[in-house]
Amino acid sequence: MIEWVSLAKLDAALRDCGPNGLQLRAFFHADTARDPASLIEQAPEELIEEGLGPVSAWGGWDDDVPFLIRAAPLLLAGGYGLEVDFPVCTLGGAVLLERLAHLPLPPLTSVYFESLAAGPFGVRDVAADCVIYRSASREDAAAVARFVVARLGAAYEVIEVAPIAARFAVVGPACGPFFSRVEPARDRADAERLADACTNRYGVPFRTVEL
């Protein structure tokens, strides 16, 4: 069940989660011809972030999973661009996909999923011949493909993706089923420096992982 809350209340609740708070990260991007405000019962708030223009935003919880929706007009292409942020789930993307399906999003015209994983599985947009999602889990990739086919009515397939250069990140301790924080790094040395800095800043252990 979705509970809409003010952005200030959401931010305060996230800061109070666990010993070092809970971070939301972009999970889903999409374009739509319809203003999301026409479907969301909660009035939007204006959100202004450094380096970006104002966007309409909604915060809330779907049961125990927090989320943030952003939407803004696409001035050149027409329609609206939207983004949905979730915490990074320790159990993989399928859990977040279930929550995404609950949100009152308008009909979509294009989609893209953020993923920290390099592969080896991907979801390919057959018509555009591009990968819109990468995962270490075939099951997660298949769930994303089913979601997109249902929402767009187009052909998407699970494929094995070519390996890419090793990527590193720093993760904080778990907060329930989520990583409290995830910070991408340039390389292993940068990740080790960042892990030390985060450990000192938050007073809890951060570790380096290879994605």
Name every residue whose Cβ is closer than 8 Å to that of residue 157 and which is 6 or more positions away in sequence. Answer: 123, 124, 126, 145
Q: Are residues 103 and 184 in the same domain?
A: no
Q: For position 49, what pLDDT does the model report?
A: 79
Q: Within a domain: residue 11?
A: yes
Q: Domain of 13? A: 2-114
Q: How many domains does the chain have?
A: 2
> 93 pLDDT exceeds 90?
no
Amino acid residing at 9 = K
Q: For position 13, what pLDDT does the model report?
A: 96
Query: What's the whole-model pTM score?
Result: 0.93
> 165 pLDDT exceeds 80?
no
Q: Within a domain: residue 103?
A: yes
Q: Are residues 197 and 107 in the same domain?
A: no
Among 45, 80, 114, the domain boundary falls at 114
The pair of structure tokens assigned to 134 is: 């990468």
pLDDT digits (tens, 9 = 90+) for 100-140: 999 999 999 999 999 888 789 999 999 999 999 999 899 99
Q: Are residues 110 and 193 in the same domain?
A: no
Q: Are residues 7 and 110 in the same domain?
A: yes
In this predicted model, which residue has the larger pLDDT, 75 or 170? 170
Q: Are residues 106 and 174 in the same domain?
A: no
Measured CA to CA in angstroms, residue 71 lies from 76, 109, 209 at distances of 15, 14, 32
